[in-house]
Amino acid sequence: MKTTFIIAASIALTGTAVIAQETPQPQETREERVARSAVTEIWEPVPETVQTPEGAPPSDAVVLFDGSNLDAWEAKEGGAAEWLVEDGVMSVARGKGDIRTKDNFCDVQLHVEWRSPANDQGHDGQDRGNSGVFLQERYEVQVLDGSDNPTYVNGQPASIYKQHPPLVNASRAPMEWQSYDIIFQAPIFAEDGELRRPAYVTVMHNGVVVQNHAQIQGATEWIGYPAYQAHDCAPISLQDHDSDVSYRNIWVRPM
């Protein structure tokens, strides 16, 4: 009897539910739906239109190197940048030191194309095609020949040097052009120099995401652990690590 009662009750409840669903509801007009939709629409400010021609920098980019000259660059210690420019390519001039942009940058989208030299001298590890892209002259995205070249993983190509290994190794062979597309969110410091927000970086190596909003732990260090020191916007620099690394098509979009 108890089971029969439960089944009967379930049927009764189900029947009630069906009856309730079939009860006619007031129909909303199209005008009323449009009005409700408009509550969550944002119309201003209108984003600026940016032209994106194929094979060229966006129209709002700052071109740092287009193959013609080093006018946007200077030596790390000041004075003219002395790297080599030939056939639209900028190459490290060994012993001339790092170069940096004349302008300072904070949050940026940065595009860099680079090429490691042929390994005709038998170098391995960190001695093969080593250079680096330094954001704000402090935070390095490693440049290195990563083709069949074992090394410590937080020092391989596209690593945040000595901090974050890349998610994958997307390296091409030596003498092949490669690209980095970097989204950099600069650190923020309080007036007293205390860190309020660390830096973050996303890196695409040859179109593959290899750093996904990675938190930078501080300035790049070869020996010792990274730490932050307060600073303002600062230049982008390229490293002379005594290797014949070349660069081309460098542009940046301040954000």
What is the pLDDT, as a whole number, of residue 120? 79
Using alpha carbons only, how large is the chain's radius of gyration in Å? 28
User: Cβ distance 182 to 166 under 8 Å?
Assistant: no
Q: How many CB atoms lie within 10 A of CB 162?
A: 18
How many angstroms separate the CA atoms of 182 and 142, rounded? 12
CA distance 144 to 149: 9
pLDDT reading at 22 higher than 60? no
C-beta pairs of 182-187 under 8 Å, 24+ apart in sequence? 182/108, 182/109, 182/110, 182/111, 182/112, 182/133, 182/135, 182/141, 183/108, 183/109, 184/107, 184/108, 184/109, 184/110, 184/135, 184/139, 185/107, 186/106, 186/107, 186/135, 186/136, 186/233, 187/216, 187/228
One-letter amino acid for residue 54 of the chain: E
pLDDT of residue 26: 74
Q: Mean of the per-residue pLDDT values for the chain?
A: 92
Is residue 15 pLDDT above 90, yes or no?
no
pLDDT digits (tens, 9 = 90+) for 146-189: 999 999 999 999 999 999 999 999 999 999 999 999 999 999 99
Q: What contacts 56, CB < 8 A, 6 or more positions away? A: none
Q: Give residue 93's identity as a one-letter amino acid code.
A: A
Report whether pLDDT(76) > 70.
Answer: yes
Residue 29: count of CB within 10 angstroms of its CB: 9
Instruction: Please determine, for residue 80, whether its predicted confidence score (pLDDT) is greater than 70.
Output: yes
Residue 21's pLDDT is 54
Q: Is the peptide bond before 45 cis (omega within 30 degrees of 0)?
A: yes
Closest CA to 182 of 131, 103, 236: 236
For residue 251, the cross-strand partners are 63, 111
